[in-house]
Amino acid sequence: MSLSGMFATPGVQSLSLALDEASLRQQAISSNIANVNTPGFKRLDVSPSFESAFSNALSDISEGRSVGMMPDATLTTAADQGPARPDGNTVQIEQEMLGLAQNSARYEFSTEMLANSFHGMKTAITGQD
């Protein structure tokens, strides 16, 4: 997501990146849960290139540098598969449900912080709460 002007603050940029990452992770978790009974299905996760770029972008923002282009948000077969069932499926529903709860909490926190940031901007602009 490209932000400019008054929306290009470090806080808004960080929260925007966090929402993008949580959205992508939600896609992986949803796919894993949907395929829990698919024989031979290998667990999906966010691509390592995106994970690395996400971490680097957050570091850049915290150090006051601008964020470059993020790689395409893609899902790949997870590097850490865990034990496969006899049918070859590597999805562990308990792990996915825990990941779903954690990811949902991160997403909700980020959206709440972003809403507060925009509310603060609105108050500053209009002088009304």
Q: Are 121 and 62 in contact (CB under 8 A)?
A: no
DSSP-H helix ranges across the chain: 10-34, 48-62, 93-126
Reading the block at residue 56, the tokens are: 């680097």
Q: Tell me if the pTM is above 0.85.
A: no
- Tokens 């809403």 sit at which residue? 115
Query: Would you kindly state where each structural domain of the chain is located, as residue ranges?
Result: 5-126
Q: Please give the distance of CA 30 from its chain centroid, rounded to a whole number.
A: 13
pLDDT in tens, 75-124: 889 888 888 999 999 999 999 999 999 999 999 999 998 888 888 778 88
pLDDT in tens, 46-85: 988 888 888 888 888 878 777 766 667 788 898 888 889 9
Q: Shortest CA distance to 99 belongs to which of 47, 58, 57, 43?
A: 43
Q: What is the CA radius of gyration of the chain?
A: 18
Q: Are 16 and 64 in contact (CB under 8 A)?
A: no
32 vs 91: CA distance, rounded Å: 6
Angstrom CA distances, 88 to 35, 74, 75, stand at: 12, 23, 20
